[in-house]
Amino acid sequence: MGNSKFHQKYLIFLIFLLLQICSVFVQSKQSNHSSTLSNTVMFALKAQQIPPGSIRRPASKLPFHHNVSLTVSLLVGTPPQPVTMVLDTGSELCWLHCKKNPGLNSLFDPVHSTSYSRIPCSSPTCRARTRDFTIPASCDPIKLCHVLVSYADFSSMEGTLAMDNFKMGESSMPGVFFGCMDQGFSSSSETDSRTTGLLGMNRGSLSFVTQMNYPKFSYCISGQDASGVLLFGEANFAWLKPRSYTPMVKVTSPLPYFDRVAYSVQFEGIKVGGKLLTLPKSILQPDHTGAGQTMVDSGTQFTFLLGPVYTALKNEFLAQTRTTLKELGDPNYVFQGAMDLCYRVPLTQKGYPVLPTVTLMFQGAEMSVSAERLLYRVPGEVRGPDGVHCFTFGNSDLLGVEAYIIGHHHQQNMWMEFDLVQSRVGLAEVRCDLASQRLGLGL
């Protein structure tokens, strides 16, 4: 979730808590997939400016790119149709924009796929109680499973729960559940809003990684050329540094504000330029309602912190940069509704002065954010001879979000490993552009 699911990525994390009957059904499907994904699968990841609204198994790899949203290219249907999907560790349900009207330049046309099937509303998958749907899935007039999902920016979309064949590289995956969405999109461009889909990658029963029965996946996002790699399976490479692991936080009982299928870790503190902020431990831990969890989310661009922690970080960063950066001086300007610390940087200036490193501390691991990852040039915003550059941390309270969200901008040049078997997240600093080259993706 986030203002990629707040503004840029109009998608917020979609949460599924399925009934046991659905889990058994999905697991039986997964066993049929095991023989199809026996080879390493790697994808090139890309990053695209997406308009708003709009097991131990051998590894698999894909290239990707990043900027506002991390995207990966797949093939869906028979014959295969190319699709571009946002890689989202904060969501569960995969979905595609589906063609509804003849002539509309939409992404996926189920009519032209002989392997496409729609899920009836009598299916256990449709009847399952899930938090992913704002209202429970229901029957449409022709007895198909009708689903509706809503996001933090108050947009929503709806369509039919469906199943079709997905293909990644040389690996084929028959019968993947996804949402075939065909109405309710919000975008300034009718066509642009239908140029992508979402690849749900959290720990829920219907996520892509769960349906494919992968116990582990990794990605690495370059900070230089908007590219990277997504890898399914083991990542045992001589050039890759040992990972530091932080355990996932487990909550067994349902809590209203805790996402139990997110990649939730324990936040332990923040250092600015080596100075540890004075923060009460209680504010960094989920409370009795589940509010205050910390989620690692590839679907959010920036990082968002609860109000008191954000304010402490903002004040310390201001204090340490008072002589090197010029504040914007406009108290009414708030980037993406949650980022109110912005600066004026001359358009002719190349790079930034030396900035204090911000280190996010987790149980057993740290993530350091430095240099250009600390500030973001706001496209199109100019004040005289200066561009507007905003601090890449925001205030969750301003968004009405009761959580800490670690976005993908701060995961650049980090090997991010999600181990579902041992319930942990691994981090290792690495040049992700070089990692992509070493893996032969030729980005």
Q: Collect all residues with Cβ–Cβ distance below 8 Å to 77 and sequence separation of at least 6.
A: 108, 110, 112, 113, 115, 116, 164, 165
CA dihedral 408, 409, 410, 415 (to 10 degrees): 50
Domain identity same for 59 and 81: yes
Please report whether residue 365 resides in a domain: yes
pLDDT classification of 37: cutoffs 50, 70, 90: very low
Among 196, 154, 202, 159, residue whose Cα is nearest residue 180: 159
Please report whether residue 250 resides in a domain: yes
Position 53 scores a pLDDT of 39
Position 51 scores a pLDDT of 46
Domain identity same for 410 and 309: yes
In whole angstroms, give the CA distance from residue 194 to residue 233: 31
3-state DSSP of 110-168? HHHCCCCEECECCCHHHHCCCCCCCCCCEECCCCEEEEEEECCCCCEEEEEEEEEEEEE
Q: How many Cβ atoms sit within 10 Å of the Cβ of residue 248?
A: 19
Q: Which residue has the higher pLDDT, 296 or 399?
A: 296
What is the tens place of the pLDDT at every residue in 231-274? 998 888 889 999 999 999 998 888 989 999 999 999 999 999 99
Domain identity same for 27 and 119: yes
- Token pair 């301003």: residue: 398
Mean pLDDT, rounded, for 103-127: 85
Catalytic residue at 132?
no
User: Contact at 8 Å (CB) between 39 and 170?
Assistant: yes
Please report whether residue 435 resides in a domain: no
Residue 100 has pLDDT above 70, yes or no: no
Residue 89 has pLDDT above 80, yes or no: yes
In whole angstroms, give the CA distance from residue 120 to residue 161: 8
CATH number at residue 146: 2.40.70.10
What is the tens place of the pLDDT at every residue in 213-227? 888 999 999 876 567
Domain identity same for 126 and 146: yes
Domain identity same for 292 and 211: no
The edge-to-edge listing of strands for the beta sheet with 264-265 is 264-265, 293-296, 403-406, 303-305, 393-395
In whole angstroms, give the CA distance from residue 426 to residue 388: 34
Q: Which residue has the higher pLDDT, 412 or 12?
A: 412
What percent of the chain stands above pLDDT 70? 77
What is the tens place of the pLDDT at every residue in 159-200? 999 999 999 877 788 999 999 988 765 443 333 344 578 899
Q: Collect all residues with Cβ–Cβ distance below 8 Å to 110 and sequence separation of at least 6.
A: 77, 98, 99, 116, 162, 164, 180
Domain identity same for 184 and 265: no
Catalytic residue chosen out of the listed positions 88, 153, 182, 433 = 88
Domain identity same for 163 and 207: yes
Q: Which residue has the higher pLDDT, 140 or 394?
A: 394
Among 107, 115, 118, residue whose Cα is nearest residue 78: 115
Please report whether residue 269 resides in a domain: yes
Domain identity same for 152 and 204: yes
pLDDT classification of 2: cutoffs 50, 70, 90: very low
- Token pair 């998608």: residue: 11
What percent of the chain stands above pLDDT 90? 53
Domain identity same for 150 and 32: yes
Domain identity same for 160 and 45: yes
Rank 46-50, 90-94, 386-390 by mean pLDDT and report only the highest.
386-390
Could you say which DSSP state residue 357 is in?
Answer: P
pLDDT classification of 64: cutoffs 50, 70, 90: low
Domain identity same for 359 and 220: no
What does the block give as tokens for 372? 């250009």
Catalytic residue chosen out of the listed positions 164, 297, 340, 433 = 297
Mean pLDDT, rounded, for 418-425: 97
Domain-ending residue, one of 232, 265, 284: 232
Average pLDDT of the chain, as a whole number: 82
Position 317 scores a pLDDT of 98
Among 243, 253, 255, residue whose Cα is nearest residue 293: 255
Catalytic residue at 419?
no
Q: What are phi and psi of 210, to 5 degrees?
A: -75, -45
Q: Collect all residues with Cβ–Cβ distance below 8 Å to 308 and sequence separation of at least 6.
A: 279, 283
Position 440 scores a pLDDT of 80
- Token pair 């704002």: residue: 134
Please report whether residue 350 resides in a domain: yes
Write out the residue range of the structural domain in which residue 154 sits.
20-232
Distance of CA 183 to the CA centre of its chain: 23
Domain-ending residue, one of 166, 198, 232: 232
pTM of the model: 0.84
Q: How far is CA 362 from CA 228, 312, 383, in A?
A: 24, 18, 38
Mean pLDDT, rounded, for 367-395: 96
Q: Domain total for the chain?
A: 2
Position 56 scores a pLDDT of 28
pLDDT classification of 36: cutoffs 50, 70, 90: very low
What is the tens place of the pLDDT at every residue in 330-363? 999 999 999 999 999 999 999 999 999 999 999 9
User: Contact at 8 Å (CB) between 411 and 298?
Assistant: yes
Please report whether residue 440 resides in a domain: no
Domain identity same for 128 and 225: yes
Please report whether residue 87 resides in a domain: yes
Please report whether residue 175 resides in a domain: yes
Domain-ending residue, one of 192, 212, 232: 232
> Within a 13 Å sphere around the CA of 53, how many CA atoms are in the beta-carbon half?
14
Position 135 scores a pLDDT of 62
Strand partners, 173: 166
Position 152 scores a pLDDT of 60
What does the block give as tokens for 310? 């954000």
